[in-house]
């Protein structure tokens, strides 16, 4: 069996055609044609007023914080169990991250923990739609609204997910997507910021273009020292083609999850991603959390699966456990407080979930997983 990698995109002739056209024609007066088509189609897909294509999901969170005016002295609540791309921009703007715990079933921001983390300095919260799953959006949004806290929804991993028919990424003041090569839809590298708030949209355009106002772009007149965050035409063309196939891409992710669910149905001590009633999970990653009593940590399982040529990745380590936040008082508090994140993360893995997965490959992965777990139980028997 060839190496089974963790994730990757599904590229067809359509994508190749659009990118080829962009590289040949999207210059001179046509330089922004693909950006315009991509952002319009993306906004329509989500049902939001404004969409801004950007070089990455990280830059979309950075611009969201800047546009909301978050800065030194402010605190921003972020779940402990996520990719550092969710939290690093908080430091870029001089604010402090406060690491809240996650919910044991959704693995996303816990409502109770969020509420406990709020102080007089809390300016924003960044709920993360982890691996395509959604937090309890209604409860989190209600608390944020009541306490005057801005919401940046990190939907980097959740294009196509929904709660009661409303798309992930549309719940906050801004929503953020990543189109990294591992994601459900890709532009190679890239991201999108969406918002219904025209004030934030205009601010984002200026902050992401060296402080120029959109209406005066050709005049080289900079009102402030800002940032340069723009996607290329070739990336926008790739994104447009992928977006035109989004139902097919999300359906494929759901199909892959179904294959895993069926294969692993009889295996005790293992929990896969949850899809609460009324929601749709786009399952960016198929994730398995093992019961500690199985005696298998994520590190050991990753090694055993690698011996079978299978690329398995760890569930995100709590941010507060990482060297990047060593010595931060917020991290020390989180280590004591966040028992769910610290309980789940050591026993969680992402299984290969790329678009090239087939039922046969899923069968091979599940067979290897079952054998790895049997091996451990035999070792445990005296």
Nearer to ligand PLP, 50 or 180 (CB): 180
How many whole angstroms separate alpha carbon 326 and alpha carbon 334?
Answer: 12
Least separation, in Å, of the C-beta of 332 and ligand PLP?
23
Nearer to ligand PLP, 188 or 211 (CB): 188
Least separation, in Å, of the C-beta of 190 and ligand PLP?
7
How many whole angstroms separate alpha carbon 25 and alpha carbon 23?
Answer: 6
**Strand partners for 270:** 290
- Could you tell me where the DSSP H helices lie in 187-346? 198-207, 233-244, 246-263, 298-307, 329-337, 339-344
* Binding stretches for ligand PLP (CB under 6 A): 56-58, 82-83, 85-86, 128, 154, 156-157, 178, 180, 191
Nearer to ligand PLP, 70 or 373 (CB): 70
Q: How far is CA 233 from the centre of its chain?
A: 23
Nearer to ligand PLP, 82 or 163 (CB): 82
How many whole angstroms separate alpha carbon 49 and alpha carbon 32?
Answer: 19
Q: Which one, of 180, 179, 188, 238, lies nearest residue 21 by Cα?
A: 238
Q: Which one, of 104, 101, 105, 128, lies nearest residue 115 by Cα?
A: 101
Nearer to ligand PLP, 155 or 368 (CB): 155
Least separation, in Å, of the C-beta of 173 and ligand PLP?
17
Which residue do the tokens 């972020």 mark? 78
Least separation, in Å, of the C-beta of 128 and ligand PLP?
5
Residue closest to ligand PLP when measured from CB atoms: 57
How many whole angstroms separate alpha carbon 109 and alpha carbon 135?
Answer: 6
Task: Provide the 8-state DSSP code for 172.
Answer: S
How many whole angstroms separate alpha carbon 158 and alpha carbon 169?
Answer: 8
Q: Is the CB of residue 206 less than 8 Å from the CB of residue 199?
A: no
Least separation, in Å, of the C-beta of 61 and ligand PLP?
6
Least separation, in Å, of the C-beta of 186 and ligand PLP?
10
CB atoms under 10 Å from CB of 200, counted, come to 20
Least separation, in Å, of the C-beta of 81 and ligand PLP?
10
Least separation, in Å, of the C-beta of 57 and ligand PLP?
3
Q: What is the dihedral of CA 120, 59, 196, 29, to 10 degrees?
A: 150
Q: Is the CB of residue 152 less than 8 Å from the CB of residue 68?
A: yes
CB atoms under 10 Å from CB of 319, counted, come to 26
φ and ψ of 53, to 5 deg: -70, 135
Nearer to ligand PLP, 52 or 294 (CB): 52
Nearer to ligand PLP, 304 or 319 (CB): 319
Nearer to ligand PLP, 187 or 366 (CB): 187
**What angle, rounded to 10 degrees, do the helices at 233-244 and 246-263 form?**
60
Least separation, in Å, of the C-beta of 235 and ligand PLP?
12
Nearer to ligand PLP, 82 or 273 (CB): 82
């Amino acid at each position: 069996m060839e190496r089974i990698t963790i994730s990757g995109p599904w590229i067809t002739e359509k994508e190749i055609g659009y990118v080829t056209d962009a590289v040949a024609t999207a210059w001179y007066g046509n330089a922004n044609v693909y950006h315009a088509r991509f952002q319009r189609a993306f906004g329509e897909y989500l049902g939001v007023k404004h969409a801004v294509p950007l070089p990455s999901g990280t830059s979309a969170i950075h611009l969201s914080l800047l546009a909301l005016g978050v800065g030194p002295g402010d605190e921003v609540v972020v779940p402990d169990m996520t990719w550092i791309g969710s939290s690093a921009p908080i430091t870029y703007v001089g604010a402090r991250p406060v690491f809240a715990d996650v919910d044991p079933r959704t693995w996303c921001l816990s409502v109770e923990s969020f509420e406990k983390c709020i102080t007089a300095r809390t300016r924003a919260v960044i709920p993360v739609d982890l691996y395509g799953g959604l937090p309890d959006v209604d409860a989190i949004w209600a608390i944020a609204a009541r306490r005057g806290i801005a919401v940046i929804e990190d939907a980097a991993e959740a294009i196509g997910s929904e709660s009661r028919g409303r798309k992930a990424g549309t719940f906050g003041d801004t929503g953020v997507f990543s189109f990294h090569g591992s994601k459900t839809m890709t532009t190679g590298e890239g991201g999108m910021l969406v918002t219904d708030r025209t004030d934030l949209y205009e601010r984002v355009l200026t902050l992401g273009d060296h402080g120029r106002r959109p209406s005066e772009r050709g005049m080289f007149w900079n009102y402030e020292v800002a940032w340069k965050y723009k996607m290329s035409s070739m990336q926008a063309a790739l994104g447009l083609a992928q977006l035109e196939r989004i139902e097919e891409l999300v359906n494929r992710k759901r199909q892959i999850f179904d294959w895993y669910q069926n294969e692993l149905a009889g295996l005790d001590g293992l929990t896969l991603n949850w899809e609460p009633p009324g929601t749709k999970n786009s399952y960016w990653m198929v994730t398995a959390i093992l019961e500690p009593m199985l005696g298998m940590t994520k590190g050991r399982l990753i090694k055993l699966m690698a011996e079978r040529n299978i690329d398995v990745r760890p569930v995100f380590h709590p941010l507060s456990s990482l060297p990047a936040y060593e010595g931060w008082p917020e991290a020390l508090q989180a280590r004591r407080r966040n028992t769910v994140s610290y309980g789940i993360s050591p026993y969680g893995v992402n299984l290969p979930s790329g678009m090239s997965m087939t039922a046969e490959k899923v069968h091979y992965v599940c067979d290897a997983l079952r054998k790895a777990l049997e091996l451990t139980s035999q070792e445990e028997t005296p």
